Amino acid sequence: MRALKRLFGYLGPYWKPLIVTGILLVFQTGLSLLPPLFQREIVDEVIGARQMHRLGLMVVAMIGVYAFLGLTEFGDQYLRHTVGERFLFDLRVRIYDYLQRLSLSFFERTSTGELMSRVTNDVNELERFITHGVVLVTVDALRLLGVSAVLIVLDWRLALVALLPVPIIGFSLRRFNQFVRPIYRLVRDRLGNINTRLQDDLTGMRVIQAFGQEDAELERFRSVSARYYQQRVRAIRAWSTFFPAIYFVSAVGGVLVLGVGAGMIINGQLSLGTLVAFLSYITSLYDPLRRLTDVDNTFQQAIAAAERIFELLDEMPEIQDAPGAIVLDSLIGEVKFEDVHFQYGHDNEVLHDIDFHIAPGQAVALVGPSGAGKTSIANLLCRFYDPTHGCILVDGHDLRQVQLQSLRRQVSTVLQDTFLFNASVRENLLYGKPDASQQEIVGAAKAAYAHEFIQELPQGYDTEIGERGVRLSGGQRQRLALARAILADPRILILDEATSSVDAEAEYLIQQALEEVMKGRTSLIIAHRLSTIRNADKIIALHDGRIREVGSHHELLARGGLYSQLYQKQLDLAGSEG
């Protein structure tokens, strides 16, 4: 119930239209109590006395009541569903905004499909709760009380017969809630598993087809779908057993009212008109009970969805601004790592005793075998993570005391695993500088040697490049990513294997461009191709998360240490391939 209470709290901003809806529904409830009284009057008074003029008035009055009912129902339906849709819109945007502020470590341990399920399926499930749950429960409860009061006034003895099923239904509903709630939670979880599997398979379709694993992946998808199906069947079995039983109990109540009422008429204890009114009110009495059971089914599913949403919103970002964080309006570009240690989660340390200094405008290269810790250093400089020990300083400021946005506005990264959005070339480039002019866009593209191939695309800079830039070659994607970083005009530039997916000619051209781009900027270069970093001001050789050597290309070659060995291996490999 905590999730339900919290969900009600989220409805606070919509209290005005909800109150109007509630008033309309209360008015609608009151109007719905009138027609049976007209029926009673017609049967007992008008028909018996053959008063045709009163019959006409009664008929006109009943038509008027139903007309007002139609108007109030229109207002209720429109307001209630509009509020529901607005609530979903605001909640979905709120979740997305919150997701963007979570740390990368969260996304590394949570699948994309699971997150998509929570933002779409779970949020949509709340729509039924808002439009068919929150207000209707209150109104149906009022209707139940109103009808009960009218029945007691009409004839308290027959009213007791009519109300006999109410406690039975109420007790059964409580037991059903306790049983079905965990089932619905598992249903939501299983649906999340389907989305996770589907997202993985669609993203990796090229690999699936390349390795001929279609049948194996089909079996995996069938397996997760079967688990969802089995859980859904459990839920269906529960409510398909419970609700007919509730309908049976209420139907028996109606039969008892008819039987007892008929006997009372025969004995002269009740008028025919009163029995007709009672039978009409029975629908208004039992329909809210039946609807409450249906709404409760909606509630249970909404609670399960809300619990999953609130789990997401309760996730605390590991990386966030400290109170009074410093805003960096501009950077000189000095970088210091002081006794930095780092580990991912509870894994072993990947960085140990990292100490180095990058002067403003220097180009520093990180080299070493895979797993040496090069990318981890770049991630720490962007403050995607915080060191577990030591500190990282930019212009003398500890990154943990710097406002994240102000830091990242002045740091651009070109990653080895290039990511481009399913949008046009222009839109992808504008990520670097949203207000850039066409001249600036073209200038950045030329600097990255991307302008020529962009012009050859069907719509030039307005060409849609597909999901993750699938319509471009690997080298073209990497040059676009480089142009995007150049357009941002950063003070600190991080190049993580920025030329790994280009051919030798394109690599040479990009290297020429990079030399111009890096002038006056602090640059951190991660490279496996050691030939691309010969002109770096400083080279840091890493192994097993520790700094082994620091120096220029020629100094490190002369030492004959780790860097020299790596360089010689690459020369030997290049020679054997030639």
492, 392 contact by CB (below 8 A): no
What pLDDT shows up at residue 164?
83
Other C-beta atoms within 10 Å of 5: how many? 8
User: Percentage of the chain with pLDDT > 70?
Assistant: 91
SS3 (DSSP) at 508: helix
SS3 (DSSP) at 163: helix
Whole-angstrom CA distances from 221 to 48, 228, 233 are 71, 11, 18
566, 552 contact by CB (below 8 A): no
What pLDDT shows up at residue 167?
82
Q: If you search the block for the tokens 């001929």, which residue do you land on?
A: 212
Place 411 in a pLDDT band, splitting at 50, 70 and 90.
confident
Top mean pLDDT of 136-150, 206-220, 352-366 is at 352-366
Place 336 in a pLDDT band, splitting at 50, 70 and 90.
very high
Set out the domains of the chain in order of their start, with CATH numbers. Answer: 2-313 (1.20.1560.10), 325-410+511-578 (3.40.50.300), 420-489 (3.40.50.300)
What pLDDT shows up at residue 173?
75
CB under 8 Å to 308, separation ≥6 — which residues? 118, 122, 185, 188, 189, 192
Place 499 in a pLDDT band, splitting at 50, 70 and 90.
low
Per residue in 59-107, pLDDT (tens digit) is: 888 888 888 888 888 888 788 878 888 888 888 888 888 888 888 778 7
Place 207 in a pLDDT band, splitting at 50, 70 and 90.
low
Closest C-alpha to 508, from 443, 449, 567, 574: 449
What pLDDT shows up at residue 505?
63
State the alpha helices, DSSP H only, in 339-415. Answer: 374-381, 404-408
pLDDT at 562 over 60: yes
Lowest mean pLDDT among 84-93, 302-311, 502-511: 502-511
Beta strand 349-358 with 335-343 is: antiparallel
How big, in percent rounded to 5, are the helix, strand and coil portions of the chain?
65, 10, 20
Closest C-alpha to 413, from 104, 13, 74, 47: 104
What pLDDT shows up at residue 86?
84
**How many Å apart are CA 548 and CA 550, to the nearest integer?**
7
SS3 (DSSP) at 401: helix
Place 319 in a pLDDT band, splitting at 50, 70 and 90.
confident
Top mean pLDDT of 235-244, 318-327, 415-424 is at 318-327
Task: Give the pLDDT mean for 213-229.
Answer: 84
| DSSP string for 409-457 | TTEEEE-SS----SSBHHHHHTTT-TT--HHHHHHHHHHTT-HHHHHTS
State the alpha helices, DSSP H only, in 135-213. Answer: 135-154, 156-163, 165-203, 205-210
**How many Å apart are CA 498 and CA 507, to the nearest integer?**
9
What pLDDT shows up at residue 257?
81
Please tell me which residue, 496 or 498, carries the higher pLDDT value.
Answer: 496
CB under 8 Å to 296, separation ≥6 — which residues? 173, 176, 177
Q: With the CA atoms of 515, 517, 520 and 524 taken in that order, what torsion angle do they form, in degrees rounded to the nearest 10? A: -80
Task: Give the pLDDT mean for 254-258.
Answer: 82
Tokens of 173: 């509903």
Whole-angstrom CA distances from 364 to 119, 292, 417, 539 are 42, 68, 21, 6
**How many Å apart are CA 141 and CA 292, to the nearest integer?**
9
CB under 8 Å to 353, separation ≥6 — which residues? 339, 340, 341, 546, 547
Task: Give the pLDDT mean for 297-316.
Answer: 80
Q: Is 526 left (phi over 0), alpha (psi -120 to 50) or beta?
A: beta
Please tell me which residue, 548 or 246, carries the higher pLDDT value.
Answer: 548
Per residue in 454-471, pLDDT (tens digit) is: 888 888 888 888 777 778
User: Percentage of the chain with pLDDT > 90?
Assistant: 10
550, 337 contact by CB (below 8 A): no
Place 507 in a pLDDT band, splitting at 50, 70 and 90.
low
pTM of the model: 0.69
pLDDT at 501 over 60: no
CB under 8 Å to 46, separation ≥6 — which residues? 54, 55, 58
Cα 340 from chain centroid (whole Å): 34
497, 528 contact by CB (below 8 A): yes
Q: With the CA atoms of 68, 73, 74 and 75 taken in that order, what torsion angle do they form, in degrees rounded to the nearest 10? A: 90
Per residue in 352-401, pLDDT (tens digit) is: 999 999 999 898 999 888 888 888 998 899 888 999 999 999 999 999 99
| Secondary structure letter of residue 51 according to DSSP | -
Top mean pLDDT of 171-185, 297-311, 482-496 is at 482-496
What pLDDT shows up at residue 520?
79
Q: What is the mean pLDDT of the chain?
A: 81
Cβ burial 95-110 (10 Å sphere, 16+ → b, else e):
beeebeebbeebeeeb
550, 541 contact by CB (below 8 A): yes
pLDDT at 578 over 60: no
pLDDT at 574 over 60: no
Task: Give the pLDDT mean for 419-428.
Answer: 83
pLDDT at 333 over 80: yes
Tokens of 253: 């109540």
Closest C-alpha to 190, from 151, 129, 233: 233
Place 513 in a pLDDT band, splitting at 50, 70 and 90.
low
**How many Å apart are CA 494 and CA 431, to the nearest integer?**
16
What pLDDT shows up at residue 504?
63
Whole-angstrom CA distances from 474 to 216, 416, 420, 479, 506 are 28, 10, 11, 9, 11
Per residue in 285-303, pLDDT (tens digit) is: 777 766 666 666 677 777 7
What pLDDT shows up at residue 490?
85
What pLDDT shows up at residue 387?
93
CB under 8 Å to 189, separation ≥6 — which residues? 308
What pLDDT shows up at residue 66?
84
Top mean pLDDT of 113-117, 121-125, 390-394, 513-517 is at 390-394
Closest C-alpha to 442, from 416, 433, 201, 228: 433
